[in-house]
Amino acid sequence: MHVFYNAKEKRLMNPEEFSQAMTAKYNRSGFVGMHIDPSQLNQSRNNAAGDYSSADLAYQYATDRLTYIRQRYVEQSFYTVAPADFMNVVVGEGAWSQQIITQASIQTAGGFKQGKLNTGAHNAKLNTADAAITPIATYVQNWALATEYTLFDVNQALFTGAWDPVEAKQKARKRDYDLGIQEVAFLGDVADETHFPGLLTNTAISANTNRIGAAISGMTAGQFAAFVAGIVGDFLTNCNYTAMPNKLTIPTDDWAGLATPVSYSFPNISMIEYLGNAFKAVVSGGVELLPLAYGIPANNSTVTGLNKHVYCLYHDDIDTLFMEVPVAFTVTAAGTYNNFSFQDAAYCQYTGVTILKPLEVMYFTF
């Protein structure tokens, strides 16, 4: 059992008595610092970039007797969006593999006309229908990240009774995973754009640079009418009329202005309402409109050749496109080799967005 020496009273104190004395002396139950990840301070996904510098990070800091330290602490805010709202996310299939193959069945015969039969001709014979398969590869990335803490971290957290560094590290790692998978879903893995493309960054997708020449929210009534009249036709021409679109992503900075009226002369309907009604009129079930911050140039400038406003109109279906997480986010039990430092690991596998039918996805950029 640990004991503490009281120099003023010249006697020993047990831990409970020492804790009570410390609380009475400083009139507080814990020091609380701002929860900040210094590596993210200057990234766009932090909603208050630059408000704090790494020099501000502290677990120990000076106070005086008139300082009140609040027990509640505030955490960072990040831009979050669920990839599953935009596409199918397949979890658990192909676990531990490094490549997943989807077989695409292709018709190779000459079509209906080959079936015409002339029974009066000499040596009349039947033509045959035929098909073949071709492999579409999806590459798999392994991922793992550790957290580590020591007895000092644990016991000092118990001493302060407020901020728990072990819990904070666990939450920070899970947040890194969530934000990382989110970014891959839309922008791909910028370290390997070829094998891990995102929804907005697949080089096999056609990009229309004429239909949307500026933000939709800034269009005149005539420009907006031309946009509404042409966008579905552009998609149908691109996919040879094989599918109808059912989702459209709109850069969030443009989305924020779509409540403006279509015409200031007759301000009875907003642009976003008119656009939704127009899609419902020509597409069975309509087209879901989705704001997406990754469509803003400042948020996609890390992708080679992008740095543009990107609108994505597509047919969302499991046979058209999907993302995979072959091994879901999993945390191991904490272990130690010296009973002082403790470490655990989280691991997963992920892929980029596989687009099986690129003609059923279309980008509009400016």
CATH 3.30.2320.10 domain residues, the chain:
177-365
Q: Which helix (H) or strand (E) holds 133?
A: strand 131-150
* Residue 253 vs residues 31, 90, 226, 258, 323: alpha-carbon distances, Å: 39, 30, 21, 10, 26
pTM: 0.81
* Residue 32 vs residues 53, 61, 158, 159, 269: alpha-carbon distances, Å: 17, 10, 13, 12, 50
User: One digit per residue, pLDDT tens: the chain, 366 residues?
Assistant: 454 445 556 566 665 665 566 555 444 333 333 333 444 444 444 444 455 666 666 667 777 888 887 777 788 899 999 999 999 999 999 999 999 999 999 888 878 888 888 777 776 778 888 899 999 999 999 999 999 999 998 888 888 777 788 889 999 999 999 999 999 999 999 999 999 999 999 999 999 999 999 999 999 999 999 999 999 999 999 999 999 999 999 999 999 999 999 998 888 999 999 999 999 999 999 999 999 999 999 999 999 999 999 999 999 999 999 999 999 999 999 999 999 999 999 999 999 999 999 999 999 999
Residue written as tokens 């397949």? 90
β-bridge pairing 310-314 and 206-208? unpaired
In the CATH scheme, what is the code of domain 177-365? 3.30.2320.10
| Residue 261, beta-bridge partner list | 270
C-beta of residue 310 within 8 angstroms of C-beta of residue 330: no
Cα dihedral across residues 184, 188, 190, 191: positive or negative = positive
Burial class (CB in 10 A: 0-12, 13-18, 19+), 242: exposed
Phi, then psi, of 20 in degrees rounded to 5: -65, -40
Q: Which helix (H) or strand (E) holds 160?
A: helix 151-160
Q: Where are the beta strands (DSSP E) in 198-320?
A: 206-208, 247-251, 288-292, 310-314
Cα–Cα distance between 334 and 202 in angstroms, integer? Answer: 39
Q: Which helix (H) or strand (E) holds 184?
A: helix 165-187
Cα–Cα distance between 156 and 150 in angstroms, integer? Answer: 10
